[in-house]
Structure 1
Amino acid sequence: MTSIEPTAAPETDICCAGADCELLPTVEADVLAETFKALADPTRVRLLRYLAESDAGTACACHLPDALGISQPTLSFHMRKLHDAGLVARDKRGRWVHWTVRPEALAGIKTFLDLAPRSADRCC
C-alpha cells in the first residue's frame, strides 16, 4: 500500500502589490456612478459647461435651446437628468426656469478624479 504524504499548504501569493487597497464605499460609488451617467451624454456636458461659464452664473431655459441647437422638449429631458444627478439647481421665475450649476456637486467629482491617479500610485 502506498501512503500519501500530506502536502504543506501553499504559501499565500499576493497577485500584485496593493491588492489590499481600501475600496470606495458603495454609497459613494453609487452617487459618483449616477453623476457620471448624467455626464455620459455630449449634450448634457455642453449644457453643464454653458451654465458654468455663463456670466450671470445662471441661464434661462428660454435661451438654451437656441444656444445648443436643440428643441425645448430635448432641453427638458437633459436638464431633468442633470437635476436628478444633483449637478444643477433650478429656480422658477415667472414662466421660465433659470438653471445654475451646483459647485458642491462638481467638487465631489473633481476630488474623485484628482485622487484617482495618486491612489493608483499608492496602491499598486
Structure 2
Amino acid sequence: MSNVKALPLLETVVEPCCPPLTERPLTADEAERTAVMFKALGDPVRLRLFSAVASHEGGEACVCDISDVGVSQPTVSHHLKKLKEAGLLSSERRGTWVYYRVEPAVLAAMGQLLTKASAA
C-alpha cells in the first residue's frame, strides 16, 4: 500500500485586472497578465476548445464532449492544460473524466478589458 496522496492541481484565477483599453494605457504588469490570456487564445484549437466549454449547456463540459477538434487526444489535453495555466479554464475530475468550465469572472474580465470606457 502506498502512502502517496494525490495533491490537488493549483488553479490560476483570473481577476479583472485592467480597465477598458480605451480608458488608459495598460501598465507593464497589466499588459503582462493580459497577454498570457490572449496568447493562450491565440491558437485556433485552444480558441475552439475554450468556445466549446463556454457555450456548453450548463456552463461546463466533459473532455469527452469537446475532444473532436481535429487533433489527437494528447494534443487536446496539452491545449486544455495551457488554457488552465492561463487561468481561462478550471477543471474537476469525476471518475475517469475531467469536466472543464469557464469561470464567470474570466469572461467578465475579458469583456471589461475590451469594452469602451464609459463617459464619467
Question: Normalising by the residue count of structure 1, what TM-score does the alignment of the two structures yield?
Answer: 0.70
CA distance in structure 1 between the partners assigned to 2:103 and 2:40 by the alignment: 14
Compute the displacement of 1:22 (Å). Answer: 4.9
Q: Which residue of 2 aligns with 1:98?
A: 99
Task: Give the counterpart letter for 2:52 in structure 1.
Answer: Y
Structure 1 segments of 4 or more deviating over 3 A?
none
Q: Is the 8 A contact 1:38 1:81 kept in 2?
A: yes
Q: Which has the higher contact order (CA 8 A, sep 6+)?
A: 2
- Residue 113 of structure 2: aligned partner: 112
Q: Can you give the 5+ residue segments of structure 2 that lack an aligned partner in the other structure?
A: 1-22
Shift of 1:93: 0.5
Aligned-partner Cα distance in 1 for 2:57–2:36: 28
Match of 1:76 in 2: 77
* 2:57 equivalent in structure 1: 55
Equivalent pairs: percent with the same residue?
Answer: 42
Q: Which has the higher helix share?
A: 1
Q: If you compute each CA radius of gyration, which structure gives the higher value, 1 or 2?
A: 1
State the AA in 2 paired with 1:102.
Answer: E
Q: Is the 8 A contact 1:52 1:100 kept in 2?
A: yes
Q: Which moved more, 1:103-112 or 1:83-92?
A: 103-112
Which consecutive residues of structure 1, in runs of 5 or more, have no partner in the other structure?
Answer: 1-20
In structure 2, what is the Cα distance between the partners aligned to 1:79 and 1:58? 13
Q: Deviations over 1:80-115 (max 9, x none)?
A: 111011001000101111000122122212111113
Normalized against structure 2, the TM-score is what?
Answer: 0.72
The aligned amino acid for 1:56 is G
SS at match of 1:97: strand
Three-state SS of the structure 1 residue aligned to 2:78 is helix
SS at structure 1 position matched to 2:58: coil
Q: Quick check: 1:86–1:102 contact (8 Å CA) kept in 2? A: no
Q: CA RMSD in A?
A: 2.0
Q: How many residues align?
A: 97
Residue matched to 1:34: 36
